[in-house]
């Protein structure tokens, strides 16, 4: 099997006990759905008013503030659930520690993964801001023609996409195994990932691109299709308004569920890919850590 393909599906490699990762996914899926379900339950008044075009009344400011605060708190809780899932997968892949309750934990490993994900989120946000600024500069150049011209659209969309790709691809390869390094070394070692990717840029890059290509093929059509149905009332893609309020609510629920499933898929496969990259680095002596396959600890 080619190296990129083998690394991408490393999460399915044979191990002494089966069902550990399946249990982790199921437990964390229930936790994620509980967190997401809490938002409409806590903000039912605001959501119903928005859905049916009603006024909130004199308490609208308090209700909107409650929605903002609860949304921020639940977003943090969702990120912690995803960090716990990644930590649980990495603990099993690298240390063969199954844990209890499907590996669900808000312990030290989860906070290390959460910190690593937060660093990557900040890096991606800065890259997005830079790309947006460059996009604005690109479309302000003279000679692009009207706003609906092909050259104008290419400058406005192609510029940020190219900038993001050029910035985030090398950073993603270099920082990808950071959480795996933290789990293996039992301390925050996110920036040790650069040693993991050293001299493995091509193979790691191929594995990451393959994984994201598969994700795009499987999930992007469904996500875009449901989104198009949701926004057809606004004339998107020339569709007409045929969805009832209940139909829109069901479509929103389907979009959320599919989004969660896509999140779980990428975290699940990335855990296997990054665990394999770390194991290879330990085998080569480029980094100290624990690996079940290497079966030794470097102190």
CB 293 within 8 A of CB 279: yes
Check residue 110 and report its DSSP letter.
H
pLDDT of residue 245: 61
Q: Where are the alpha helices (H) located in 43-177, listed in sequence order?
A: 44-52, 60-90, 108-139, 150-153, 159-175
pTM for the structure as a whole: 0.79
> pLDDT tens per residue, the chain (299 residues)?
445 545 666 666 655 566 788 888 899 999 999 998 898 888 877 777 666 666 666 667 777 788 889 989 999 999 999 999 999 999 988 888 877 788 888 999 999 999 999 999 998 888 888 877 777 776 665 555 445 555 555 555 566 667 777 778 888 888 888 899 999 888 998 988 888 877 777 777 778 888 888 888 888 777 776 666 655 544 444 444 555 666 666 777 777 888 888 888 888 888 888 888 888 888 777 776 655 554 333 22
CA 158-162-166 angle, to 5 degrees, is 175
Distance in angstroms (rounded) separating the CA atoms of residues 294 and 299? 14
pLDDT of residue 211: 82
pLDDT of residue 270: 87
Distance in angstroms (rounded) separating the CA atoms of residues 103 and 21? 9
- CA distance to 25, 32, 172, 222, 267, per residue, from 257 (Å): 14, 10, 26, 11, 15
Taking the CA atoms of 236, 237, 240 and 241 in sequence, report the sign of the dihedral they define: negative
- 3-state SS string for 270-294: HHHHHHHHHHHHHHCCCCCCEECCC
- CA distance to 73, 218, 261, per residue, from 28 (Å): 18, 21, 11
What's the length of the chain?
299
pLDDT of residue 14: 53
Check residue 296 and report its DSSP letter.
E
β-bridge mates for residue 291, sequence order: 296
pLDDT of residue 277: 84
- CA distance to 15, 32, 85, 178, 280, per residue, from 12 (Å): 9, 23, 16, 21, 17
pLDDT of residue 118: 93
pLDDT of residue 234: 42
């Amino acid at each position: 099997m080619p190296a990129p393909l083998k690394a991408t599906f490393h999460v399915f490699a044979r191990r002494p006990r089966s069902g550990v990762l399946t249990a982790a996914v199921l437990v964390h899926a229930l936790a994620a759905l509980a967190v997401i379900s809490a938002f409409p339950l806590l903000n039912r008044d605001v959501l119903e008013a928005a859905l049916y075009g009603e006024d909130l009344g004199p308490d609208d400011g308090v209700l909107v503030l409650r929605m903002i605060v609860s949304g921020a708190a639940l977003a943090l809780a969702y990120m912690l659930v995803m960090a716990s899932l990644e930590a649980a997968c990495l603990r099993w892949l690298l240390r063969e520690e199954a844990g209890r309750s499907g590996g669900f934990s808000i312990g030290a490993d989860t906070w290390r993964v959460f910190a690593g994900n937060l660093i990557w989120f900040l890096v991606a946000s800065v890259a997005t801001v830079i790309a947006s600024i460059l996009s604005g500069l690109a479309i302000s150049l003279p000679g692009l023609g009207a706003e609906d011209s092909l050259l104008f659209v290419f400058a406005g969309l192609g510029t940020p996409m190219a900038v993001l790709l050029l910035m985030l691809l090398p950073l993603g390869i270099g920082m990808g195994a950071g959480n795996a390094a933290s789990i293996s070394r039992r301390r925050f070692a996110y920036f040790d990932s650069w040693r993991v990717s050293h001299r493995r840029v091509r193979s790691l890059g191929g594995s990451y691109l393959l994984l994201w290509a598969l994700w795009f093929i499987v999930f992007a059509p469904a996500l875009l299709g449901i989104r198009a149905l949701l926004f057809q009332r606004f004339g998107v893609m020339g569709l007409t308004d045929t969805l009832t309020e209940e139909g829109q609510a069901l479509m929103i629920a389907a979009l959320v569920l599919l989004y969660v499933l896509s999140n779980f898929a990428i975290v699940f496969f990335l855990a296997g890919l990054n665990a394999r990259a770390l194991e290879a680095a330990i085998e080569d002596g480029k980094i100290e850590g624990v690996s079940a396959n290497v079966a030794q600890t470097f102190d």
